[in-house]
Amino acid sequence: MRVQVEAWLARAASARPEHTAVRTHQEEWSYDRLYAGARFAAAELASAGAGRGARVAIALPAGLQFAQALHACLLLGAIAVPVDLRLSEPEREQILAGTDVRVSEPLGEGPDPGTLELFPRHQLGAVAVVIHTSGTTAAPRAVELTYGNILWSALGSAVALGLDPQERWLCALPLSHVGGLSILLRSSIYATTALVHERFETEPVLQALRGGQATLVSLVATTLARLLDAGVERPPALRCALTGGGPVAGALLERARAAAVPVSLTYGLTEACSQVTTTPLAEVAQELRAREPTAQEPAAREPAARQPPAPNAGPPLFCTRLAIAEDREILVRGPTVAPGAPAQDGWLHTGDLGELDERGRLLVSARKADTIVSGGENVAPAEVEAVLEAYPQVLEAAVVGRPDERWGEAVTAWVVARPGAELDVAQLLAHCARRLAPYKVPKDVMLSDRPLPRTRSGKLLRRELHELGR
């Protein structure tokens, strides 16, 4: 039996026609307008040969026209394939080669959609979108996500974070990646508002938070750090800053808590349609309340020194199962996992290493492929990076293993100093020696005056780090 649900955009337009669906810096569209625009765009795509099951490349900037093209595909039963405009031409052509129709200009000027057959319901087992992974350690892979994957992910996220009918979820992540695209899709499922920025820029995001425009925002560690550096504090309407996409250092999380920024850590991946685990909002609020001064402990009192917390990425979403393999690899199964992703044992093998604490919260330690074996000991780069980034003069750090005759692999760090800071490498290594086992302390530290190479979603590109040392 094929399970179907009412088409998300059609349902939102019927329930809340005047409610803002998507807002950008320049303009906003209601659900009624977005639905009308998507139907005209669907007619134009159909005239270009798109139909049920056809793959439609969307090579448009993040914004209203992207949302229109995306929903046009879903109304047609076509498969949307977002394309990252920052890819090189050969990389883009590799993605485009597997598509039937290409969209590189805004749609909606085509024939009247009056006679066009649109699909009023989504089949949960059908493929809705194809997302290409960010390719931090290898070439990007195409992942087919179904309507069911997307719906279950939205439901699981809502259970963890709660759902406000007046939600305004700020997206400054690439819409070509699952973290950004999920915000557009979830907002249509919830019939709430997506605030879409074409790219992350500190000042516009800071103003949106300070001005109470956003109730949710999705960040990565580097963008959270930039907002804290810029002075974000007690955002008036913000319920949650969902932060993931890679390791988040305990010192950074402590800075956010001190600034009364409600951070919910999350762990996810493309093959599981974004979130796998998420810190429930109730726990985030409880942590912030615990930091509020009391009558016995006024705000002027000097706070006691705190050890930065060991960040965990929370429990699994309510519809997701999590397990740790014998080699500590994180395994995932459930309705958010892409149909083609599980191995023969039925589990999605994530390639990440971690453990579950006594409360079932996930602690992510490293990428399996990133683990450094130095002198016969395993070293997790993320652990060393967190210690390096806790040093006051360090803006960001990355750690890899370099071939070494004595150690097999030598722990090697690339460090970027904060603007205006002068780094003393000897003092930095002494800082590491006080917090790490001797075999984890970097054998070599490379200072870089350039930002570390990252994907658009903020993940370190370790395979490109050797370029910095040349």
- Write the pLDDT tens digit of every residue in 307-334: 455 578 999 999 999 999 999 999 999 9
CB 108 within 8 A of CB 34: no
Q: Which residue has the tokens 């925002």?
A: 217
What pLDDT is recorded for position 304?
Answer: 41
- Kindly state the tokens that stand for 30: 């209601």
What's the average model confidence in pLDDT over 64-82? 97
pTM of the model: 0.83
Q: Please say if the pLDDT value at position 305 is more than 50.
A: no
- Write the burial class of residue 295 (CB in 10 Å: 0-12 exposed, 13-18 middle, 19+ buried): exposed
The amino acid occupying position 391 is Y
Q: Which CATH architecture has domain 4-291?
A: 3-Layer(aba) Sandwich (3.40)
Fold of the domain spanning 371-469: GMP Synthetase; Chain A, domain 3 (3.30.300)
Confidence of residue 301 (pLDDT cuts 50, 70, 90): very low
- Write the burial class of residue 241 (CB in 10 Å: 0-12 exposed, 13-18 middle, 19+ buried): buried
Least Cα distance to 34 among 44, 46, 42, 45 occurs for 42
Mean pLDDT score of the chain: 89
The runs of H, that is alpha helices, within 390-443 are 425-433
Among positive and negative, which fits the CA dihedral 108, 109, 113, 115?
negative
Rg (CA), the chain: 23
Indicate the pairing of strand 142-146 with strand 127-132: antiparallel
Spans of all domains in the chain = 4-291, 371-469
What pLDDT is recorded for position 465?
Answer: 75
DSSP string covering 48-78: TT--TT-EEEE---SSHHHHHHHHHHHHHTP
What pLDDT is recorded for position 117?
Answer: 82
What pLDDT is recorded for position 299?
Answer: 47
What pLDDT is recorded for position 293?
Answer: 64
Q: Which residue has the tokens 């990440």?
A: 352
- Kindly state the tokens that stand for 326: 């014998």
Confidence of residue 439 (pLDDT cuts 50, 70, 90): confident
Q: What helix, strand, coil percent values describe the chain, rounded to 5?
A: 30, 25, 40
What pLDDT is recorded for position 300?
Answer: 42
Helix (H, G, I), strand (E, B) or coil at 410: strand
What pLDDT is recorded for position 369?
Answer: 79
